[in-house]
Amino acid sequence: MDVRRLDLLRELAERGSVTAVAEATGRTPSAVSQQLKVLEREAGAPLTERSGRGIVLTSAGHALARSAADVAIALARADAVWDEFRNDASGEVTLLTFPTIGATMLPAVLSELRQVPGLVVRATDFDPELAEFAELTADYDIVLAHTMPGVLPWGGRGLRVVPLLTEPLDIGLPATHRLAGRSHLTASDLVEETWLGVPPGFPFERILHAIEQQGGRRVEIAQRFSDMRIVEAFIQAGFGVAFVPRYTSGALPPDLVLKPLRGVPSARQIVALVRPDVAERLAVRTVLDVLVAKAAELGAGTGAGAGAGAGAGAGAAAS
Amino acid sequence: MDVRRLDLLRELAERGSVTAVAEATGRTPSAVSQQLKVLEREAGAPLTERSGRGIVLTSAGHALARSAADVAIALARADAVWDEFRNDASGEVTLLTFPTIGATMLPAVLSELRQVPGLVVRATDFDPELAEFAELTADYDIVLAHTMPGVLPWGGRGLRVVPLLTEPLDIGLPATHRLAGRSHLTASDLVEETWLGVPPGFPFERILHAIEQQGGRRVEIAQRFSDMRIVEAFIQAGFGVAFVPRYTSGALPPDLVLKPLRGVPSARQIVALVRPDVAERLAVRTVLDVLVAKAAELGAGTGAGAGAGAGAGAGAAAS
DNA sequence: ACTGAGGATGTAGCATCGCTACATGGATGT
DNA sequence: ACATCCATGTAGCGATGCTACATCCTCAGT
């Protein structure tokens, strides 16, 4: 049972096609196919079977791929222990962020990480639909994701989920709005309003549904944007009200006010998603630690607590 | 960090010399040396340093070797999971036994294991001194060892210790002996006797010291044998008394009687020693399970309990 | 039904890598 | 001083894993 071959099987389980594995590992599909064939011969049982144009893993294949993941973890841990021993957190860590947190928290995180010699963080932004977050861990070491509390559609995949922040979602209003003087708002205040929503499939939607349910009627959604900057601009311009995350919106324009929502739990959970094997890498854990710490600062600044285990070392976070 | 190279380092940590690793892995010393050199280059720090004719691991080398052991465990576990999946416990398991248990328990164990298709057990006997047991795990998958309760000189090495049996050590007397009618004996009964001992360094010695201490004088040791057959023959012939293990002596000659000792704890602990990585192998675990079960039968037959966790699956035993 | 695209898998050849065989050099013990 | 033991260099060979190219199969679109 060669490790490199097992690793290929693990990749196949994650990516689903020989071609994808080949691309991801910088080989030709032929090479991957050959190695899988050898592995199959060594294992003594069929691991894949054809399905339409592609292939799928047999149950035996899945079983073996699971073990392969454990091996990958052990191997990554060995690397990590070694890097710790040498106190060397160098290496490249790829990170995918969604826009809001990328704008507010990431600069501080990266500037702190610049202190670590040899550590290179490559960050990119992208605002995927909820379901896609997990898939992206195949291509990025750390994926920052946001979702509603209690809704964790990943995790079944064996991903490590590091909680960063539980962030309240306030209601953004123009300073001139009739509700702008209130200390807080309720569902019934808001069902009359025109809303700026998010594209279908994005996390915020559920809360709006809760408001509709409690307010007793459907709200009108005038526009749908995923980019907060645009939303803020539209709020200012009087096109409607919208959810605005309390901490990660950065400096708000003076004519835009945030009001907490009462009676409807409105918060988003911000987490980092990491594949368990890459979570072992010292460089990755270093980045995660700083993320957790900075997120805690952000949350502590206004009183609301961060997710959990801030500063406790992300390596110890549950799966 | 290549796994094969890490494995070589692990072997080096265990065996202590390049030549020994080369022999054990069926290569030339040159090949081993080259691979270690490459590993060192990859790791970026010296792993070994010369010491006289040979080499020793640096502290960095030890650290990495420890991780290498973890990787080996994960890899062996992957194999085991796979074998379980296929319900295939085939493979060769080498086993080293000391004489008494080899004569009484092993035949039953091996005949039961003959039922398992593809499983080949190669057993050898050898009665090493206490300290050597651990070293032998480098060359044998399972090493049956005996020691006094509480004395576990191994374990620090990271070996898995599977308890099989706690066996009382009775006093063997000729049927014609003045003490042969007693239901049990005490230290003071025995200090007057001429003894048949074991060679220095063998486990039984400590109990004899305890008897001397409680009896208030030194006993006379006429002969020293490690082989129980010889001891029994000498007891019969009236040369002295000796410790005789209660369960593992097989069919005793009619003119030899066993009397329990009171007041001095006299028992030996029989355990199986296994390297943690080979302990993961399904074939090895299968053999261990049968060993544990048969040992429990042996102990239960006369009322005294076996060590612990009989039949609970040896894989779960503590390290 | 025909055709093109996408995906897996064979075949031949080539480069890399890990091994052996042999030689070298330092440390040890007689 | 010499023989011995052990680690380590060097040259060369063979296995192994890759690429390039070709083939086959399935699905989708016209």
pLDDT tens digit at each of 319 positions of chain A: 899 999 999 999 999 999 999 999 999 999 999 999 999 999 989 999 988 888 999 999 999 999 999 999 999 998 899 988 988 889 999 999 988 888 888 889 999 999 999 999 999 888 766 667 888 898 899 999 988 876 666 766 789 999 999 999 999 999 898 988 898 899 888 888 899 888 776 767 778 888 888 888 888 888 888 888 888 888 888 888 999 988 877 777 888 899 999 888 888 889 999 999 999 999 999 999 999 999 998 876 654 433 333 333 333 333 3
CA to C1' distance (Å), from B103 to D29? 77
Q: How far is CA A239 from each of CA A77, A216, B159, B198, B207, rounded to the nearest angstrom?
A: 52, 23, 70, 96, 92
Please tell me the distance in Å from B67's CA to the nearest CA on chain A.
Answer: 5
Name which of A184, A197, A257, A268 is nearest A227 in CA terms: A197
Cα dihedral A229→A234→A238→A240 (10° resolution): -100
Q: Which amino acid is at A266?
A: S
Residues A268 and A208: beta-carbon distance below 8 Å = no
Say how far apart CA A68 and CA B12 lie, in whole Å: 26
Say if the Cβ atoms of B67 and A73 lie within 8 Å.
no
Tokens 């040791």 — which residue?
B221
Nearest residue to A280 via CA among B1, B13, B36: B1
**What DSSP state is assigned to residue A123?**
E
Residue A21's pLDDT is 94
Q: For residues A117 and A120, give the distance between their C-alpha atoms in angstroms, rounded to a whole number.
A: 9
- The answer to whether the beta carbons of residues A275 and A162 sit under 8 Å apart is no
Closest Cα partner for B61 from B76, B39, B85, B83? B39
In terms of Cα–Cα distance, which of B76, B87, B203, B83 is closest to B141?
B76
Query: How many whole angstroms separate alpha carbon A135 and alpha carbon A88?
Result: 29
- Distance (Å, whole) CA B69 – CA B241: 46
Cβ count near B197 (within 10 Å): 21
Q: Which sign, positive or negative, has the C-alpha torsion A208, A210, A215, A216?
A: positive
* CA R_g for chain B: 23
- Integer Cα distance of A193 and A200 in angstroms: 19
Q: Calculate helix-pair angle for A59-85, A282-300, nearest 10 degrees.
A: 80
* B39 contact A CB<8A: no
User: Measured between CA atoms, how close is A75 to chain B, in angstroms?
Assistant: 6
Q: What is the pLDDT of residue A213?
A: 87
**Using CA atoms, how far apart are residues B182 and B164, in angstroms rounded to an integer?**
30
Q: How far is CA B225 from CA A296, B221, B234, B316, in A?
A: 70, 11, 10, 37
With a CB cutoff of 8 Å and minimum separation 6, the contacts of B72 are: B6, B7, B10, B277
Contacts of residue B117, Cβ cutoff 8 Å, sequence gap at least 6: B90
pLDDT in tens, A75-99: 999 889 998 898 888 999 999 998 8
pLDDT for position A7: 95
* Euclidean distance between CA atoms B117 and B88, whole angstroms: 8
Name the pTM for this structure: 0.78
Residue A4: nearest nucleotide (C-alpha to C1'): D17
Tell me the two tokens of residue B91: 């493979």
User: Two tokens at A132?
Assistant: 């896609």
CA A287 to chain B, closest CA, distance in angstroms equals: 22
State which amino acid sits at residue B31.
A
The CA distance from B169 to B265, in Å, is 9
> Cβ B78–A43 below 8 Å, yes or no?
no
Hey, are the CB atoms on A43 and B82 less than 8 Å from each other? yes
Q: Which of A203, A252, A200, A248 is nearest to A221 (CA)?
A: A200
CB B20 within 8 A of CB B5: no
Maximal CA-CA distance, chain B: 73
Strand-pair partners of B244: B170
Please list the ranges in chain B whose pLDDT falls under 70.
128-131, 150-153, 155-156, 201, 203, 300-319
- What is the structure's pLDDT at A311? 33
Q: How far apart are the first and last CA of chain B?
A: 27
- Chain B residues whose CB is inside 8 A of the A89 CB are none
**Could you tell me if B179 and B185 are in contact, meaning their C-beta atoms sit under 8 angstroms apart?**
yes
Q: What's the helix, strand, coil split of chain A in %, to 5?
A: 40, 25, 35
**Which residues in chain A touch residue B88, judged by CB atoms under 8 angstroms apart?**
44
Helices (H) and strands (E) in chain A, counts: 11, 11
Q: Do A78 and B67 lie within an 8 Å CB cutoff?
A: yes
Count of H-run helices and E-run strands, chain B:
11, 11
A73 contacts chain B (CB < 8 A): yes
Whole-number pLDDT of residue A151: 67
pLDDT at B236: 87
Q: Which residues of B touch A71 (CB under 8 A)?
A: 71, 74-75, 78
Residue A121 bridge partners (DSSP): A93
Q: Please name the amino acid found at residue B148.
A: M
> What is chain B's percent helix, strand, coil content, to nearest 5?
40, 20, 35
- Chain B residues in contact with A75 (beta carbon < 8 A): 1, 3, 71, 74
